Chains A and B, each alone.
Chain A
Amino acid sequence: MNPPPTRFVRDAMIPPAPPPRRLGGPVAWIRKNLFGGVGNTLTTLLILAALAWIVPAILRFLVLDAVWTGTSGAACRPEVAGRPVGACWAFIGAKINYLVYGSYPAAARWRPNLFFGLLAFGAAWMLWLGAPRRDLGAWFVFLVLPLAAWLLLSGMPALGLANVATALWGGILVTLVVSAVGIVAALPLGILLALGRRSSLPLLRWVCIAFIEFWRGVPLITVLFMANVMLPLFLPGAVTVDRLLRPLIGIALFASAYMAEVVRGGLQAVTETQRQAALALGLTDGQAMRFVVLPQALKIVVPGIVNTLIGLFKDTTLVAIVGIADFVRVLEAARADPAWSAPVIPATAYAFAALFYLAICLAMARYAGFVERRLAAGERR
């Protein structure tokens, strides 16, 4: 046996140091966190210098130099305004209806508004862990809401709701519809796939594994292209698929594969003894899964589901590439309006979109973190 390397062992004693003067209080905290050593002090100064440069610039762009009122792009041109110009919020104000509803008829905009309300209600029911009758909430979100939303948005002449072609839908409305359809279709499908992947029937298992790995292995854009060109090809003769429905099917299948992996993680986390105990009590295999294993697994995977939802919400922007008028696409169209041409318009449009996505995704991420901590607290007992 070789002797261990000895290069870090001292061969002379160091003289004892005096005790530290202060270990607590704000001064000690500042010294430890900001000025402890040369490198640390240098980092602090560097970051402070960078912040002193960048924070006022951002503040000036977003608030101080921003243009809040105006009727055309001229108001946002520095040579017209006679001062440096930041974000042109007047542009967002003028386009806000287009950004939210797309070309949805103005007289019927109460229908998307009602849809937003129903969506918020359903989401709150499912996400508020202490809500009453969450089983009813599941029925509402996964059955009533999709049907009601379909009737409401696309119209039903028999009920007095005029038809609105999906080609007119646009903006945040489409972004939310795509995300909602994605999650509402992907969750049940994902649970089935996860169960299938753990099934004892080899053929069923292989089919599920192949399905999941296929969708996880290809980029979403190729899936959207595929849905666009191949769906019409595979369906019989005269059947046509709505332009909006094609990417919806693609996204639902794509998201279900990711959801299946999340749910599988939850199923694996429920100990085998739970199932055995249920079987010992005389429950059948199916009952044990439905009443004992699955409820516990789904509780564990709530943060994972929310994280998948965040990814899905961000990924819905890709439908813009296959010609669906989602938020990003209507933003690009609004930006191209010659009446609102000014150098700051692109930056304004992207800042608005970034803030929109940032607010929603951060809120969802915070919620997932909250649930995770709550579950961890339950485990610690």
Chain B
Amino acid sequence: MAASTRWRALALQAGLVLILLALAYAAADNAAQKLARQGIVAGFGFLGRGAGFDIGQRLIPYAAATSTYLDAFCVGLLNTLLVAALAIPLATGIGFTVGIARRADNVLARALAATYVEILRNVPLLLQVLVWYVAVRIALPGAEAPAELGRAVFLSQRGLFLPRPDFSGSGGLVPAAVALGLLATVGLARLRRRAVAAGRRPVPVLIPGLLLGLGLPVLAWIGLGRAGHPVRVAWPARGPFDVEGGLAVLPEFAALVIGLSVYAAAFIAEIVRAGLDSVARGQAEAAAALALTRRQTLRLVVLPQALRVIVPPLTSQYLNITKNSSLAVLIGYPDLVHVFMGTVLNQTNQAVEVVALTMAVYLAISLVTAWAMNRYNARVAGTGR
């Protein structure tokens, strides 16, 4: 590179940095002046102040009178993560089913799957959430006459009410049994992979895994009852105006989870279809020649190879689900944006801090996912084709 070009490049970059710094300084200066005039103290000290507002759904203890803005932030963040954690597996299930159906033998299944994708993908998510929240809810029975199932489950426009088991104290054995069952299943899957790699007869995983995962907690439940420490269950009951007690699933929450899942599923279906198409036809034909059934072909030959193509865009869909859960603010589900960027921002006027903190959360989730994705890609790229 000639010396003059190098100098020009340096000057250009120096100019860029100077302009950016000047802009940042001007913006910060303006903001500082305006904040000073409004009597707002910059900084994150406000997080320790009492919040004084109530939140409809909380996974951790929270009370309007005693909790701080930091607690409200945590409640909102957990609610956001809860929606994402439920919507992601749901969307994956629907998406894979629809995506595989688009390449099914049955022409009706193909057409139905294509219609699903075209409609769900081309209507704005916000509209779909509104449909689930408003139009579908109207069709449900009113709060004064809820539909009930064996006096244990109630469904009305106010939400879905389920029995809530109390897992504190000795009842904690039940979740522990679930965890034990899951761990054992993971161990079994590992054994199976090793057996397959060594050419031995593979260990069955699905049935024992189901038995372990469901059987152990049931055993723990019955055992506790026999031992004189039965797990207490709070049953919902019909009150004078509404169903009371039990575990209430808010309609806002249900509408958001369903809306997010069926919307993202349409995109996931397209990703799955593209992944299936990326596997050479010869692979399925070779599997058929080896007398594998269609199910086995899909499960053992085509899908594992398709996953390489599917996983990277799939993660970005998962990120989209997490980011789109912020639509909660429209229907009043208390997610991070609603609680923090809405209520807390309005109460404290700490615009800069609140916006920065909220955006930092989403950015952190995005960056961590991107990092994990790059690691996965590096691993997959290594296993040759």
Could you tell me which A residues sit within 8 Å of B by CB distance? 2-5, 7-10, 32-34, 36-37, 40, 43-44, 47-48, 51, 200-204, 207, 213-214, 216-222, 225-226, 229-230, 233-237, 310, 314-315, 317-318, 320-321, 328, 332, 343, 346-347, 350, 353-354, 357-358, 361-362, 365
Interface residues of B in 1-50 (CB under 8 A from A): 9, 12-13, 16-17, 20, 26-27, 30-31, 33-35
Most chain-A Cβ atoms within 10 A of its Cβ — which of B26, B351, B355, B362?
A: B355
Whether the Cβ atoms of B31 and A48 lie closer than 8 Å is no
Contacts of A315 in B (CB 8 A): 124
Chain B residue nearest to A225 in the complex (CB): B341
Determine how close the nearest CB of chain B comes to the CB of A348; give it in whole angstroms.
9
CB pair B330 A40 closer than 8 Å: no
Report the Cα distance A363→B109, complex, angstroms: 24
Chain A CB within 8 A of B207 CB: no
Residue B112 CB within 8 A of the other chain = yes
Contact of B326 among A200, A202, A221, A354 (CB under 8 A): A221
Once the chains bind, are B134 and A346 in contact (CB under 8 Å)? yes
Q: Is B378 an interface residue (CB 8 A)?
A: no
For B342, the closest partner residue in chain A by CB is A225
CB pair B352–A219 under 8 Å, yes or no, is no
By DSSP majority rule, is chain A's interface helix, strand, loop, or mixed?
helix
Which A residues lie within 8 Å of B358 (CB)? Answer: 222
Q: Answer whether residue B186 sits at the interface, using C-beta atoms and an 8 A cutoff.
A: no
Given A233-B351, A317-B127, residue A219 in contact with residue B362 (CB < 8 A): yes
Bound-state Cα–Cα, A220 to B127, Å:
16
Residue of A nearest to B9 (CB): A201
Q: Which of these binds chain A: B67-75, B100-108, B276-284?
A: B100-108
A234 to B121, alpha carbons, bound, how many Å?
37
Q: Is the CB of A236 within 8 A of B127?
A: no
Report the Cα distance A7→B107, complex, angstroms.
Answer: 32
Q: How far is the CA of A194 from the CA of B355 in the complex (A)?
A: 27
What is the minimal beta-carbon distance from B19 to any residue of chain A, in angstroms?
10
Which residues of the other chain, A, contact B326 by a CB distance below 8 angstroms?
219, 221-222
Asked if residues B108 and A2 are in contact (CB atoms below 8 Å), the reply is: no
Q: List the B side residues contacting A33 at CB < 8 Å.
A: 105-107
- Closest-by-CB residue of A relative to B358 is A222
Chain A residues, Cβ within 8 Å of B198: 2
What would be 18 A-B contacts, judged by CB atoms less than 8 Å apart? A7-B201, A34-B106, A217-B366, A217-B367, A218-B362, A219-B323, A219-B324, A222-B326, A222-B358, A225-B337, A234-B31, A317-B126, A317-B127, A321-B126, A321-B329, A350-B130, A354-B123, A357-B127
A239 nearest CB neighbor, chain B only: B30
- Complex: how many Å from CA A229 to CA B354? 11
Question: Is B244 an interface position by the 8 A CB rule?
Answer: no
- Mask, B108-122, CB within 8 Å of A = 1, is 110010000011011
Contact at B291–A318, with CB atoms within 8 Å?
no
- A37–B198 CA distance with the chains assembled, in angstroms: 35
Residues of B within 8 A of A5 (CB): 196, 199
Contact A318 B108 (CB under 8 A): no
**11 extra A-B contacts, CB within 8 A, seeds A217-B362, A234-B30, A321-B327:** A217-B363, A219-B337, A220-B323, A222-B337, A222-B355, A222-B358, A225-B355, A230-B31, A350-B134, A357-B122, A365-B118
